[in-house]
Each structure stands twice: as C-alpha cells, then as structure tokens.
Amino acid sequence: MAKHPNTVNAAETDIVQGLHTTEPQTGAVMPPIYPATTFARGPDNALINDAHIYTRDQNPTYRLPESMLARLENGNDALLFSSGMAAGCAVFRAMKPGDEILVPDQMYYGLRDWVRHFAETWGLSLRVYSVADPNAIRRAVTSDTQLVWAESPTNPTWEVTDIADAAAAAHDVGALLAVDSTVATPVHCRPLDLGADLVMHSATKALNGHSDVLAGVLVVKDPSLAVWQTIAKERGESGAIPGPFEAWLLQRGMRTLFVRVMRASQSALTIAQHFENHPALAAVLYPGLPSSPGHDIAARQMRDGYGAMLSFRFRGGEQAALEAISRLRVFTRATSLGGVESLVEHRATAEGASSEVPPDLLRFSVGIERCEDLVNDLDNAIAGL
Ligand code: PLP
C-alpha cells in the first residue's frame, strides 16, 4: 500500500509543474506557443476545434496560464487581460449607469484616477471609504451598493483590509467584493477563500516576476455570476488580452512564484526589522511588523509571510528621502514591483501631480538578491541623514 495518496494537494507543486501538463504529441514538458490569429474549418465548414475560431480571446496559449491562476487563487475560472489596469477596469465597466460602487481612499493611483473619471462619465455613484477605519465599509454600504473594491495591502503605505469582514459587509447588502491582491500575491493571501467574489492581479508584478511582461488577471469563485459573464463577453469583444508570447512567458514565470516570493518576503521582513528604529526614519511601513496598524489582520489572513513591499518615511522629509535614493547602489531606481531585482522609487515623483503620497516616502520592492547586500546598501544610503 502506498504510504501517501497518489494525489498532489499543494498549489506550489501543481504550479511548479504547470499543472502536470505535457504536450501530448511530443511529450514536451513546456507547452507550445500558438502565434496563429485564426483557426481553420474543415470541408464541411465545421470548425476543426470548436473552442477556437479567432485569437482575440480564444488562443490555446491562454488556457494553461488561466488554469494555473485559477488554481493559485482556489477559483473556478480565470481570465487573462492585457494589463492589471485592463483587468481592474473590466470589473468597473461591468457596472451599470446608476450603480453605487465603494472604493478605498488608498489604492493603486492609476486605477484610483481612472475610476474617479470613469464613474463621472459612466454615471456611477462613487463612494470612498477610509482603509484606516475597520468599520468604514460596513458603515458606507447601502442597499444600492453593487460593488465594493478593496486592495490589500494598499500601495504604497501597505494598509491591510479585513477581507472576510469586507465580504460579509458587501454580501449583507447584496453587493460583490473584488480585491486587488497584487501586493499580497497568491502565495500569502487567497481572497476568494476569505469570501471575496473576484480577485484581481497585475500579473506584470510577482506572478510573472521578471519585469518583462505586461498582463493582468481576474479570478472568480462562481463563474455563473452575471458580472463574470459580462466581463468575459466584454473581454472577447474588446480584446484587452495579452499576446500568446506574453501569456506563455507568464506561465513560465509563475512556475517559480513560490520560491521567488518566499525569499523576497523573508528579505523584506529582515529589512523592516533591521531599520524599524533607525534614527533617520520616522516610520517603516510593513504589515509584517507588529507595530503596523494592520498587523493583526495581516497575521490572520496572510500566510508564510507578508509580501516583498515596504516603505520608509524620513524624519528629514523629502530632502532626506531624495538624498537616500541618490546614494543607493544595489536597488535600482525604477517604478513597478514584484521582479527578481530590487527596486526603489520616490513615489510622489512617480505618481506626479495627482499624488497623495507623502513626499518623505521611499517605496521598496524587495527582490531575491542576497539580503545582506540589500541591508548594507540601505544602511549606507541612510547613514547620517
Ligand atoms: N494594482 C496594483 C496594486 C499595482 O501596483 C499596479 C501597477 O503598478 C496595477 C494594479 C496596474 O497593473 P498594470 O501595470 O499591470 O496595468
């Protein structure tokens, strides 16, 4: 008798092996890329394969990464998009004029600016809740609310939303909860397991992990939801989908998701702990620190770590932050996050005129370099400030 059942339980194992798929004709352990934009019919005019007519949302290269993403989030269906923004926008576009939507006061600024404008032009009633107030969603929802949007942890101050509580508050009034879980990654948090209806990622970040693909994804628990049907139809018609090569790169990147994210998150925690009481810093923002306001919720709803993103606020204000960023040698000064290489940015500069980020803040995306090199780089950069 076998000692263990002959099945795989860990998402980690499934993902490393691309859901244990091999290409049936050749035995290739990596799937082929189908660059074809169109798919043939036989002499009887019937499609050779019913699932494929035209590439816009039917390219076979999309299927494996979508199945891997559904597996990662414990969902039952996933849709790839051409960017994280395209995925997020698709959810709001599925609302009808007159619908009420609730968004947090801190969220990825690109989507925040877009949704403020879209709500105005599309006739949505937009209400904003404070992520710092744990009861804000419950107080803000009304019987007209159709959608509650959450981002956890929030970019770039890493506030944490209690997803189970937000889902209950949304469901009590018949609304849906959608969560941008880009920063948490499926390694650390699975919003659908906590009650969310939809989860969104910028797959450009840790899911791909190599700063060379722009992509987004939505995953759903219940694909029969009307909103999911609307989103899928709209995607097929509008074509906001990555090309086959990007989809293929994404499935390749995801195979190393767990090792990359676990190492980067461990380094982020080490950095946060090392610099927490540094005299040059007014605050180290990281949900893994017990001093962080969202730590208790994060400890409950995240596992195996708290993510690879953290921020420093400088006692010497913007001047000190800009001096520190200029001195860094190992961190690359660039926007974005979730790649193998560590990045730093002065977020207020990156976001531009509409930014609500304090100018004394530097944002770090921790990569998988040797942690000691990162700590030393930061130590050198902020010494004497
Ligand atoms: N959500 C978060 C939390 C992000 O950080 C970003 C991009 O930085 C996005 C969404 C948008 O993703 P994309 O750049 O893939 O459109």
Measured in angstroms, how far is the CA atom of residue 58 from the centroid of ligand 1? 24
**Residue 373 pLDDT > 90:** yes
Phi, psi of 104 (to 5 degrees): -75, 160
Measured in angstroms, how far is the CA atom of residue 50 from the centroid of ligand 1? 34
- Helical H runs in 208-243? 226-238
Pocket test for ligand 1, best of 111, 158, 205 (most atoms within 8 A of CB): 205
Query: What are the pLDDT digits (tens) for 131-159?
Result: 999 999 999 999 999 999 999 999 999 99
DSSP assignment string, 299-326: HHH--S---SEEEEEETTHHHHHHHHHH
Measured in angstroms, how far is the CA atom of residue 296 from the centroid of ligand 1? 26
Residue 142: predicted pLDDT = 97
Calpha distance 120→260 (Å, rounded) = 40
Check if the beta carbon of residue 114 is closer than 8 Å to that of residue 66: no
Check if the beta carbon of residue 98 is closer than 8 Å to that of residue 243: no
Calpha distance 347→48 (Å, rounded) = 51
Closest residue by CA, ligand 1 atom 5: 108
Check if the beta carbon of residue 125 is closer than 8 Å to that of residue 99: yes
List pocket residues of ligand 1, CB cut-off 6 Å: 83-85, 108, 110-111, 151, 155, 180, 182-183, 202, 204, 214, 216, 336
Residue 177: predicted pLDDT = 98
What is the mean pLDDT of the segment spanning 259-288?
A: 98
**Residue 1 pLDDT > 60:** no
What is the mean pLDDT of the segment spanning 293-311?
A: 97
Calpha distance 307→264 (Å, rounded) = 7
**Residue 44 pLDDT > 90:** yes
Calpha distance 224→200 (Å, rounded) = 18
pLDDT band (50, 70, 90) for residue 7: low
**Residue 91 pLDDT > 60:** yes
What is the mean pLDDT of the segment spanning 184-201?
A: 98
Residue 3: predicted pLDDT = 72
pLDDT band (50, 70, 90) for residue 354: confident
What is the mean pLDDT of the segment spanning 178-182?
A: 98
Calpha distance 95→231 (Å, rounded) = 10
The tokens describing 186, both together, are: 């499926």
